[in-house]
Amino acid sequence: MSVAADVEARVAATGLLAGPTVVLLSGGRDSVCLLDLAVRLAGPVRALHVNYGLRAEADADEAHCVALCARLGVPLEVRRAGVPEGNVQAWARDVRYAAAHALEGAIATGHTATDQAETVLYRLIASPGRRALLGMEARSGRVVRPLLGVTRAETAAYCAERERPYVDDASNPTSTRGRIRAILELHPAAEANVADTLAQLRDEAEVLDALIDPDADLTTLSPALARLTVQRVAGVAPARYMEEILALARRGGTGHVDLPGARVTVEYGRVRAEPLEGEPSRAAVAPARLPVPGEVAFAGGVVTAELGAFDVADGTLAADALAASLDVRPWRAGDRMRPLGLDGTKSLQDLFTDRKVPRAARHQLPVVLSEGEIAWVPGVATGARFRVNAATKLRARLHWSPGS
């Protein structure tokens, strides 16, 4: 069996390329391979290319994508990104996924087994812990990654066999990614070994998460389960603080440890997380219930919800994805959401940092939840499940008017 036939069979077996699909097309080997596979396995298919204007070859890459899609008979959306803001990689990701979510269908990315291995190694270097090893998911909301079981060498071979030209953005060998790739080249089975390990870890993670009781007495738990409980309550607590927190539980009585942005208190073996002293207390801001449509007082201001045919903007959500009434409360340490435009989940603390929200303002912002899931934080993020696209007829517009 040829490499192309083998890759197609393996990707088809994932079931991730079926039905309407938007392929994120950069013009590189992986996305070109993905587009060709989508044409063969999914349908209808359209492609999205974002020209960030950051490389001298950007316009040539765009022209290549236009020609390739014309050859394959695939409609192509081309977006010009404009001027970068803040962290360039985060900005590019936001632009890319926001544009993709405005289109119909599953959003297919060209992440491969090679990308997965690089991501895991980088996360392990930058952020130790079990969650760093879980890697990218094959499906995350509308985003699918059909090539996670295919290596970069195989996508190149696929394109060669199928005569699908691609552009080559050679990475700097001295960059972080370049160095990680050099490590993976030390063993021919490195990428496959990482992929097999991730599959096992994901199965085990489901079992471990089911065992965690946030209200449990840490002193009655095994060391591993105690660590997992602290991480559930306090978010991803930095490893250097973990032993200090567990030592407080073993000592008995009440004590606390200050983490970035939160104070973790251990009281007779049980752990809770609160804002640091000097920041507004979330206990001082009462939660509220917001009917849709309707309004509610919160933190000296007003949160409103309207229904109608509104333009897409911050606070515009799909009404049919929302509950009839929403919970409005302050931020809690450990809060996580699946934000529109990003892969996977992210802590609100990290999102606040990314959006440069001052610490003193964080506990006055309303966190709006629909049946327990964070749907919207004004000026910060919208939940991916509540996205609005061209087919969304009934929309909800949420608005936050802070007090004086």
Residue 196 labeled ligand binder: no
Residue 29 labeled ligand binder: yes
CA distances from 330 to 131, 194, 286, 327, 349 (A): 26, 39, 8, 10, 12
Q: Whose CA is closest to 328, among 367, 363, 291?
A: 367
Residue 209 labeled ligand binder: no
Q: Residue 332: count other Cβ atoms within 10 Å of its Cβ.
A: 17
Tokens found for residue 364: 């006055």
Give the integer Cα–Cα distance in Å for 206 and 28: 35
Q: Whose CA is closest to 102, among 364, 349, 396, 318?
A: 318
Residue 171 labeled ligand binder: no
Give the integer Cα–Cα distance in Å for 150 and 169: 19
Tokens found for residue 43: 């349908």
Length of the chain as a residue count: 404
Q: What are phi and psi of 379, to 5 degrees?
A: 75, 5
Residue 73 labeled ligand binder: no
Give the integer Cα–Cα distance in Å for 317 and 310: 9
Tokens found for residue 342: 């990003």
DSSP three-state, residue 196? helix
> What angle do the packed helices 239-251 and 223-234 form, to 10 degrees?
110
DSSP three-state, residue 8? helix
Residue 235 labeled ligand binder: no
Residues contributing to the annotated binding site for ATP: 26-31
Residues contributing to the annotated binding site: 26-31
